[in-house]
Amino acid sequence: MWYIYLMLNKQEITSLNLTRRHFEFIACTLGEIDDNESRESVLTDTCIRLRDTHTRFDEDRFRERVQEVYEDGWCE
């Protein structure tokens, strides 16, 4: 079975001009992943990409929000 992974490169991610609302949306989406191992894996990969492309990205705060969404069981 073949899988195609579509990823944006660093320049493409930077050009998105993500806002706080975008980060909130991403955190809520990740927080809805039920499986702990899968959520952590996707979260780590996402943090690496965001940290490398957005100088003001606060990884600790982002991870806390993902965990909060997961614990609440839904996104506000």
Residues 7-59 have pLDDT tens digits of: 777 888 888 888 899 999 999 999 999 999 999 999 999 999 899 888 889 99
Q: Token digits for 44? A: 């780590």
With respect to residue 3, please indicate whether it lies within any of the assigned structural domains.
Answer: no
Structural domain containing residue 45: 10-72
| Residue 2, domain member (yes or no) | no
- The span from the CA of 38 to the CA of 57, in Å, is 22
Within a domain: 44: yes
Residue 21 lies in a domain: yes
Answer yes or no: is 5 within a domain: no
Judge residue 42's burial from the number of C-beta atoms within 10 Å of its C-beta, 0-12 exposed, 13-18 middle, 19 or more buried.
Answer: middle
Query: What pLDDT band is residue 6 in, cutting at 50, 70 and 90?
Result: low
Count of domains observed in the chain: 1
Predicted TM-score of the model (pTM):
0.81
Residue 4 lies in a domain: no
